[in-house]
């Protein structure tokens, strides 16, 4: 039985209590995690505030912060396999994906390392002849970061990287479902030499840990990734401290395929877009919108590819789809499929959980043409694809935008002018054309509507962790005239 600790103020500590963590591949407890409660949260936030204003971190130059980030990036790269194995063990995400993804996470830290001393202020050409005015960009303050269990080292990097580049300090709450890789990542923060209190990493449950963190009076900004319902609680809590928020939430992303598309390429992208990560991705292309003239052909291609997917233990490099992260998630997926079939959706393949241990669920396709299926509106967060067809481009766009979400979208067509029209018409924060699920530290991502607000990645993310200060300097030696007149 492995035991993990929180990382608070530069020390590895136990929480007020401990709780078990379950291996999704077996359904058995494999580790004990530290359960942070309100007193732990307060200690972590206070440590972050001290580091921000009074500690060594506040005295480092931006270039020095960047060098620490470079060192962290090298440590992430050197320890990628160990971190990948922990993420696979604690969340069920397959090892072939965690290995590749975490190795790429190092590039995110390198990007923000290079950006640290390029976050600039400005000189304003003010309309008063005896004044010089500057804008300074300063750290926004102590940041509360709430990270989910899926792709957590990636989803924490797109928060930690830009926040550190901007000079902020932070408390990171790992999800109570699968926190092991983030708690282990704290050792790399420590080894890289970040001053005590700059990065604090804890885990715990919503009412006793997440709520205490998001409403803490010393928190200035909350960066949250998760579902809309939890986000509503976060926003309500932020009314206590008036913290700003950035929210990266769920999705019900449309994947549009026109008859002129390269269907083999589109089918491979659709399989990756919905079945990779066992469908546990906020950008999962979960709604296939396919031109009616090629629907049957394309659906047959997808059925064959889905049924050929190797479902197995996540630690095996040959496995292509592993288990869902929790029994709760497995139950949710099964129940939503049952409701969708009852509403008239036709099961093309999959749809029934297998016997045996672990939280497995097969790749599933639902034909929802002409049906008001709940699978078209509600997020599964599992390996389930819902399919509808269209006749015209206008109908395709209407179906794609018929959602409260707006995180990602995909378009497959060889018609360039059509692609440009759809790029403009799709109400989503990310539009992929003839590709899907591509990411880069240089490119921001984020959503519209119930998919949240704010952006992660790119320069935009770093600027979100700053606030501007306006500096006025009077250059005249003459006495200030009438004091009752604003100048």
Fold agreement between 2-249+447-471 and 254-433? no
- Confidence at 260, pLDDT banded by 50, 70, 90: very high
Q: How far apart are CA 151 and CA 170, in angstroms?
A: 19
Whose structure tokens read 């007149």?
485
Q: Give me the active site residues, please.
A: 248, 282
Q: Is the pLDDT of residue 465 over 90?
A: yes
Share of the chain above pLDDT 70, in %: 100
Q: Is the pLDDT of residue 487 over 80?
A: no
Q: Which residues contact 232 (CB under 8 A, 6 or more apart)?
A: none
Q: Is the pLDDT of residue 1 over 90?
A: no
- Domain 254-433 sits in CATH at 3.40.309.10
- Are 170 and 145 in contact, with CB atoms under 8 Å apart? yes
pLDDT number for residue 285:
96
- Confidence at 16, pLDDT banded by 50, 70, 90: confident
CA dihedral 378, 380, 386, 388 (to 10 degrees): 20
Q: What count of other Cβ atoms lies within 10 Å of the Cβ of residue 479? A: 5
Give one DSSP letter per residue of 410-460, joined into a string: EEE-S-HHHHHHHHHH--SSEEEES--S---TTS-B--SGGGEES-BSHHH
Q: How far apart are CA 440 and CA 456, in angstroms?
A: 11
Q: How far apart are CA 256 and CA 289, in angstroms?
A: 5
**What residues does each domain of the chain span?**
2-249+447-471, 254-433
Per-residue model confidence as pLDDT tens digits over 233-254: 999 999 999 999 999 998 999 9
Per-residue model confidence as pLDDT tens digits over 90-145: 999 999 999 999 999 999 999 999 999 999 999 999 999 999 999 999 999 999 99
CATH class of the 2-249+447-471 domain in this structure: alpha beta
Query: Considering only CA atoms, which of 268, 263, 251, 338 is closest in space to residue 294?
Result: 263
Residue 230 Cα distances to 145, 241, 301, 451, angstroms: 14, 18, 37, 12
Classify residue 342 as exposed, middle or buried by CB count within 10 Å of its CB (0-12, 13-18, 19+). exposed
Query: pTM (2 decimals)?
Result: 0.95
């Amino acid at each position: 039985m492995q035991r993990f600790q929180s990382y608070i103020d530069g020390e590895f500590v136990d929480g007020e209590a401990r709780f078990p963590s379950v291996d999704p591949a077996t359904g058995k407890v494999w580790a004990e995690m530290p359960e942070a409660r309100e007193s732990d949260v307060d200690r972590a936030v206070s440590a972050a505030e001290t580091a921000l204003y009074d500690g060594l971190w506040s005295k480092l130059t931006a270039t020095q912060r960047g060098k620490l980030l470079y060192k962290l990036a090298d440590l992430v790269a050197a320890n990628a396999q160990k971190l990948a194995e922990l993420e696979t063990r604690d969340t069920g995400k397959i090892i072939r994906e965690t290995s590749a993804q975490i190795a790429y996470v190092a590039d995110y830290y390198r990007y923000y390392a290079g950006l640290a001393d390029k976050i600039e202020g400005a000189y304003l050409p003010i309309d008063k002849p005896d004044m010089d005015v500057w804008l300074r960009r300063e750290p926004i303050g102590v940041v509360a970061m709430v990270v989910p269990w899926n792709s957590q080292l990636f989803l924490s990097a797109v928060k930690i990287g830009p926040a550190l580049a901007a000079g902020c300090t932070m408390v990171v709450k790992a999800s109570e479902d699968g926190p092991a890789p983030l708690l282990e990542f704290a050792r790399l923060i420590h080894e890289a030499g970040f001053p005590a209190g700059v990065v604090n990493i804890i885990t715990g449950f919503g009412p006793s840990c997440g709520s205490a963190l998001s409403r803490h009076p010393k928190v200035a900004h909350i960066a949250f990734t998760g579902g809309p319902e939890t986000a509503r609680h976060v926003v309500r809590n932020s009314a206590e401290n008036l913290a700003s928020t950035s929210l990266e939430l769920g999705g019900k992303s449309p994947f549009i395929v026109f008859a002129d598309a390269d269907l083999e390429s589109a089918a491979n992208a659709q399989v990756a877009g919905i079945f990779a990560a066992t469908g546990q991705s906020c950008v999962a292309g979960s709604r296939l919108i396919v031109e009616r003239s090629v629907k049957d052909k394309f659906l047959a291609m997808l059925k064959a590819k889905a049924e050929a997917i190797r479902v197995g233990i996540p630690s095996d490099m040959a496995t292509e789809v592993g288990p869902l992260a929790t029994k709760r998630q497995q139950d949710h997926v099964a129940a939503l499929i049952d409701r969708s079939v009852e509403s008239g959706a036709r099961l093309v393949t999959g749809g029934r959980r297998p016997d045996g241990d672990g939280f497995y669920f097969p790749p599933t396709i639902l034909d929802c043409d002409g049906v008001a299926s709940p699978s078209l509106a509600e997020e599964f967060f599992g390996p389930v694809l819902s399919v509808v067809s269209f006749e015209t481009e206008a109908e395709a766009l209407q179906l794609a935008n018929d959602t409260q979400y707006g995180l990602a979208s995909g378009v497959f067509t060889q018609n360039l002018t059509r692609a440009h029209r759809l790029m403009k018409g799709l109400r989503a924060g990310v539009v992929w054309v003839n590709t899907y699920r591509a990411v880069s530290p240089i490119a921001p991502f984020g959503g519209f509507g119930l998919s949240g607000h704010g952006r992660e990645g790119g320069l935009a993310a770093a600027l979100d962790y700053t606030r501007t200060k306006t500096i006025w300097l009077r250059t005249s030696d003459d006495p200030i005239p009438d004091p009752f007149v604003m100048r």
